[in-house]
């Protein structure tokens, strides 16, 4: 019989304190569960998919994250005004901000995530490390306490020398690869610390960093878990996220290639043990590094839903967002531990960014003029955009997550390539050509992944394009250009309605006028 | 219709006329005629069917403000210039000829300018670092050269298309 403290809380309306694809993904779960949704939006997001998808939406006014999606006061005011009884933070923005979680609780709202105390503890990378040690999980050798911004250079150097090189400089408040630098020799240390501090201060408002020994060619493998408010912790089959560019994940999959059942169980048990030690509740992920000898080390815990959660959903059939909401309502977790740890088939996720992979992955925000999204068996596209939407310059440039499921890894890989072939984004470059290249690399096909392989390969390529046309494609392009110019001249409506409104070069205008005369 | 189509520094002359079958066009190029059954699906989307039955889904966009065409062919973006006249010097212009202006590809803030006028830079060397979307992005020239002018300073906010550095 549930006691008063654990009584189930009614939840009628959830405010989603986020934007883009993750806000849409959470609202989909709400709709499936018969729960109302409230969106928040910045000025440039008024036409965004997450805003139009919501039952109700309220403006934050402004655009910069600091004026909008990071404004606890504005978000709580909207929660009050809209009558929302719960808040889902998504990932990024305020998802791992204990002050926000606390403010929600103080305002009588259910925060869909762990308690503020646990967010604070696991949010400090050094305190998280201590928790892992207390739980008996192995950790990478590193500094015991944060290196605050006031520490003199000589002491910084001494602390780093004690850890040994190569080492990683990481923001204490970090995440998502920001505020992170690799240092190969002592001479490069102070420069790296300065850059990491400035990035960390800008991104998280905290310049404290810490040092960690850099493992040689490790794999990044993480354990998703769910924990209810009644002491049940269920770890899931691992995700491999070793394909990284500058410490940012670009491809994730589940299960990890070359994983044996024994290692899986040991990692799952270590993760569950850390979660129990800190009294974790709701969805979270424990990240590990795994070395060439299959030794694993606790890296950090993400106290929120992860970007890559769909691959876990695809191979276990468990809807993690549904469970986040049910756990927050006080329900008991009834996912079977066996189901959670036994993958059915294989899933791969590609993060589609509005970036030009042939220009060093430069962000290229702009208007999406046309969009065709792949479908068919085993394909899931979690997208935050539609044709006509202008990807804003203010936020992360991820526009979608493309996920492919297959009976085994090779089937999932081929299915992903098939889906990428169907995917068309007009108006802005995306990272899709890069994924098509990456998925055909021998190291990816064989599953011999590590976190350094992609950066090393990019270095070797020295910026040559990921996909180049051959004579056949050049010929097809020529025919397309010729017939499109001809058709444009024959019809009164220009083919490129977007461009006709914009100032055009005299060159193209001359071409059009001349074509019209014919 | 006579067209000059420039792609990768190579200019080709083509003539396009209505084909015998309604809805088809004949493209004359390099002394051959290619019959194209082409359908305009709107928004620049084309369905192209050739006489051997081969099917091609394509999108032709016009990049503003440059007026360049971008053709999406098999997931690859191909840049081209289409005109009805011969473009002056287009074919002759080698990749390395003339001064090169490096412009901001997106709005952002200049965080560093690691070069000064007179510096020799290689193709991959960063010449300006811009912060946008919370990430620092290093811009390089894409070819070797000597820095002639630096047009921005650290801390400046720049709009997309703004010239940053001139190389020669």
Task: Calculate what percentage of chain A has a pLDDT beyond 70.
Answer: 93
Helix/strand/coil for A437: helix
pTM for the whole structure: 0.81
Show the tokens assigned to A442.
């021998």
pLDDT band (50, 70, 90) for residue B104: confident
A473 in contact with chain B, both atoms CB, cutoff 8 A: yes
B125 touches chain A (CB under 8 A): no
Chain centroid to Cα B156, Å, comes to 27
SS3 of residue A454 by DSSP: helix
Classified as helix, coil or strand, A129 is helix
Dist. CA A101–CA A110, nearest whole Å:
9
CB of A350 closer than 8 Å to CB of A416: yes
Residues above pLDDT 90, as percent of chain A: 77
Q: How far, CA to CA in Å, does A71 sit from each of A42, A65, A99, A209, A514?
A: 11, 8, 11, 25, 54
Judged against a pLDDT cut of 60, whether residue A350 lies above it is answered with yes
Bridge pairing between strands A13-16 and A36-41: parallel
The first and second tokens of residue B86, run together, are: 């011969």
Rounded CA separation A247/B154 (Å): 26
pLDDT tens per residue across span A244-254: 998 899 999 99
Q: Per-residue pLDDT tens for A190-223?
A: 999 998 998 888 888 888 899 988 898 999 999 9
Distance from the B148 Cα atom to the nearest Cα atom in chain A, whole angstroms: 23
Domain ranges of chain B: 2-83, 100-167
Label residue A445 by pLDDT band (50, 70, 90): very high
Q: Which residue is listed with tokens 């999932």?
A: A412
- B129/A contact by beta carbon, under 8 A: no
Note the pLDDT of residue A145. Answer: 81
Query: Do A410 and A404 touch, CB atoms closer than 8 A?
Result: no
Within 8 A of A429 by CB-CB distance, chain B residues are 77
Q: Residue B105: its chain A contacts at CB < 8 A?
A: 356, 359, 362, 364
Q: What is the mean pLDDT of residues A62-78?
A: 97
Q: How far apart are CA A239 and CA A316, in angstroms?
A: 12
CATH topology of domain B100-167: OB fold (Dihydrolipoamide Acetyltransferase, E2P) (2.40.50)
Tell me: pLDDT of A322 over 80.
Answer: yes
Give residue A338's pLDDT band: very low, low, confident or very high (50, 70, 90).
very high
Q: Is A370–B138 a contact, with Cβ atoms under 8 angstroms apart?
A: no
Region A296-304 average pLDDT: 96
pLDDT(A518) > 60 = no
pLDDT category of residue B95 using cuts at 50, 70 and 90: very low
Interface touch B78/A364, C-beta < 8 Å: no
Q: Considering chain A, what is the average pLDDT of its residues?
A: 91
What are the structure tokens assigned to A170, written together?
A: 């990481």
Task: Say how far apart CA A100 and CA A123 lie, in whole Å.
Answer: 13
Q: Which fold has domain B2-83?
A: Glycoprotein, Type 4 Pilin (3.30.700)
Contact state of A483 with B16 under an 8 Å Cβ cutoff: yes
Chain A touched by B66 (CB under 8 Å): yes
pLDDT at residue B86, as a whole number: 57
Contacts of A500 in chain B (CB under 8 A): 62
User: Residue A493, class by beta-carbon neighbours within 10 Å (0-12 exposed, 13-18 middle, 19+ buried)?
Assistant: exposed
Give the closest residue to A91 by CA, choosing from A309, A289, A353, A241: A309
Chain A's closest residue to B48, CA to CA, is A480
What domains, with CATH codes, occur in chain A? 4-112 (3.40.50.20), 141-213 (3.30.1490.20), 219-459 (3.30.470.20), 473-517 (no CATH)
Please check whether residue B132 touches A, CB under 8 A.
Answer: yes
Given this model, what pLDDT does residue B98 score? Answer: 61
Which pLDDT value is given to residue B126? Answer: 83
Q: Cβ–Cβ contacts within 10 Å for residue B152, how many?
A: 17
Two structure tokens written together for A484 = 């499109």
User: Confidence band (pLDDT; 50, 70, 90) for B134?
Assistant: low
Q: Which pLDDT belongs to residue B43?
A: 85
Please tell me the distance in Å from A464's CA to the nearest CA on chain B: 10
Residue with the larger pLDDT of the pair A496 and A271: A271
Name residue, tokens 């090779």.
Answer: A410
Q: Which residue of A has its CA nearest to B58?
A: A480
Distance, in Å, from the CA atom of B80 to the CA atom of A233, rounded to the nearest integer, reads 57
Q: Could you give the residue numbers annotated as active site of A? A: 304
Percentage of residues in chain B with pLDDT exceeding 70?
Answer: 89
Residues with Cβ within 8 Å of residue A1, at least 6 apart in sequence: none
Which residue is closest to A64 within chain B, CA to CA?
B133
What are the φ/ψ torsions at residue B35 (nearest 5 degrees)? -85, 125
> Hey, which residues 319-378 in chain A have their CB within 8 Å of chain B?
356, 359-360, 362-365, 369-370
Give the mean model confidence (pLDDT) for residues B80-93. 63
Q: What is the pLDDT of residues A120-179, one digit of tens each?
A: 999 988 899 999 999 999 998 888 788 888 889 999 999 999 888 999 999 888 766 778
Judge whether residue A492 has pLDDT over 70.
no
Confirm or reject contact between B25 and chain A (CB < 8 A).
yes
Q: Is residue A484 exposed (0-12), middle (13-18) or buried (19+ Cβ within 10 Å)?
A: buried
Q: How far is B104 from chain A (nearest CA, A)?
A: 11
pLDDT of A421 reads: 95
Chain B residues whose CB is inside 8 A of the A423 CB are 75
φ/ψ (deg, to 5) at A15:
-90, 130
Element (H, E) at B46: strand B45-50
CB A121 within 8 A of CB A277: no
Mean pLDDT of chain B: 83
pLDDT band, very low/low/confident/very high, at A491 (cuts 50, 70, 90): low
CA–CA dist A147, A156 (Å, integer): 7
- Which residues, 6 or more positions from A152, have their beta carbon under 8 angstroms from its beta carbon? none
Beta-bridge mates of residue B158: B108
Spell out where A135-215 has E strands.
167-175, 178-183, 209-213
**Which pLDDT band, with edges at 50, 70 and 90, does B62 fall under?**
confident
Residue B48 sits at φ, ψ, to 5 deg, of: -115, 130
Q: Model confidence at A4, in pLDDT bands (50, 70, 90)? A: very low
Tell me, yes or no, if B55 comes closer than 8 A to chain A by beta carbon.
Answer: no
Instruction: Pull the structure tokens for residue A121.
Output: 């503890």
At B55 the three-state DSSP class reads strand
Model pLDDT, residue A367: 93
Q: Any CB–CB contact under 8 A between A516 and chain B? A: no
What is the 3-class SS of A22-86, one letter each residue? HHHHHHHHHHHCCCEEEEEECHHHCCCHHHHHCCEEEECCCCCHHHCCCCHHHHHHHHHHHCCCE
**Which backbone phi and psi does A162 adopt, to 5 degrees?**
-65, -35
Q: Measure the CA–CA gap between A64 and A77, rounded to whole angstroms.
A: 19
Rounded CA-CA distance B153/B155 in Å is 6
3-class SS of residue B113 = coil
> Angle at the Cα of A177 (from A205 to A303), degrees rounded to 5?
75
Lowest-pLDDT range of A1-5, A362-366, B135-139: A1-5
Dump the DSSP string for B28-86: EETTEEEEEEEEEEETTEEEEEETT--EEEEEEEE-TTT--EEEEETTEEEEEEEESSP
pLDDT for residue A284 is more than 80? yes
In three-state secondary structure terms, A373 is: coil
């Amino acid at each position: 019989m549930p006691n008063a403290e654990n009584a189930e809380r009614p939840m009628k309306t959830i405010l989603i304190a986020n934007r883009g694809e993750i806000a849409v993904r959470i609202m989909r779960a709400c709709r499936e569960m018969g729960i109302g949704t409230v969106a928040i939006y910045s000025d440039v997001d008024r036409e965004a998919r997450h805003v139009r998808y919501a039952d109700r939406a309220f403006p934050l006014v402004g655009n910069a994250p600091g004026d909008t999606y990071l404004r606890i006061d504005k978000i709580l005011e909207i929660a009050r005004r809209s009558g929302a009884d719960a808040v889902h933070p998504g990932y990024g923005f305020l998802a791992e901000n204990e002050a926000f979680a606390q403010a929600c609780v103080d305002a009588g709202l259910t925060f869909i995530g762990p308690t503020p105390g646990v967010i604070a503890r696991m949010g400090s990378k050094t305190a998280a490390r201590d928790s892992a040690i207390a739980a008996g999980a192995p950790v990478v050798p590193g500094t015991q306490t944060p290196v605050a911004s006031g520490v003199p250079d000589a002491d910084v150097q001494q602390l780093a020398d004690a850890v040994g090189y190569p080492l990683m400089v990481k923001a204490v408040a970090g995440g998502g690869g920001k505020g992170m630098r690799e240092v190969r020799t002592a001479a490069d240390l102070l420069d790296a610390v300065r850059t990491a501090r400035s990035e960390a201060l800008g991104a998280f408002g905290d310049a404290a960093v810490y040092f960690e020994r850099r493992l040689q060619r490790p794999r990044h493998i993480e354990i998703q878990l769910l924990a209810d408010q009644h002491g049940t912790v269920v770890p899931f089959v691992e995700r491999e996220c070793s394909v990284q560019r500058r410490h940012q994940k670009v491809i994730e999959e589940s299960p990890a290639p070359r994983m044996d059942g024994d290692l899986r169980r040991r990692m799952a048990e270590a993760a569950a043990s850390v979660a129990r030690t800190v009294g974790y509740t709701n969805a979270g992920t424990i990240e590990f590094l795994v070395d060439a000898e299959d030794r694993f080390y606790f890296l950090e815990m993400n106290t929120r839903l992860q970007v890559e959660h769909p691959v876990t959903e695809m191979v276990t059939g468990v809807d993690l967002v549904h469970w986040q909401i049910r756990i927050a309502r006080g329900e008991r977790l009834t996912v079977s531990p066996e189901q959670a740890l036994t993958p059915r088939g294989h899933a791969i996720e590609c993060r589609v960014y509005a970036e030009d992979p042939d220009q060093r992955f430069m962000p290229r925000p702009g208007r999406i003029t046309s969009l065709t999204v792949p479908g068919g068996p085993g394909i899931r596209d979690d997208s935050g955009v539609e044709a006509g939407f202008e990807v804003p310059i203010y936020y992360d440039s991820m526009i979608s997550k493309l996920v492919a499921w297959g009976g085994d890894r090779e089937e999932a890989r081929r299915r992903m390539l098939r889906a990428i072939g169907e995917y068309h984004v007009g108006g802005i470059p995306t990272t899709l050509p890069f994924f098509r290249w990456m998925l055909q690399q021998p190291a990816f096909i064989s599953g011999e992944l590590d976190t350094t392989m992609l950066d090393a390969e990019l270095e070797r390529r020295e910026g040559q394009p990921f996909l180049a046309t051959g004579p056949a494609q050049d010929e097809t392009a020529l025919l397309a250009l010729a017939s499109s110019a001809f058709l444009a001249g024959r019809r009164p409506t220009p083919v490129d309605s977007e461009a006709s409104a914009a100032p055009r070069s005299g060159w193209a205008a001359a071409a059009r006028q001349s074509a019209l005369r014919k | 219709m006579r067209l000059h189509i420039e792609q990768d520094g190579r200019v080709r002359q083509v003539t396009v006329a209505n084909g015998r079958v309604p809805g088809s066009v004949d493209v004359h190029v390099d002394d051959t005629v290619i019959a194209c059954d082409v359908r305009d699906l709107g928004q620049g989307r084309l369905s192209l069917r050739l006489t051997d039955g081969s099917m091609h889904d394509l999108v032709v966009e016009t990049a503003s403000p440059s007026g360049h065409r971008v053709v999406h062919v098999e997931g690859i973006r191909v840049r081209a210039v289409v005109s009805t006249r011969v473009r002056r010097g287009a074919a002759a212009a080698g990749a390395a000829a003339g001064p090169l202006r490096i412009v901001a590809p997106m709005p952002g803030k200049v965080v560093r300018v690691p070069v000064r006028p007179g510096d020799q830079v290689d193709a991959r060397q960063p010449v300006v670092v811009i912060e946008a979307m919370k990430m620092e992005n290093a811009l390089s020239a894409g070819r070797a050269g000597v820095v002639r002018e630096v047009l921005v300073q650290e801390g400046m906010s720049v709009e997309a298309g703004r010239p940053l550095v001139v190389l020669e």
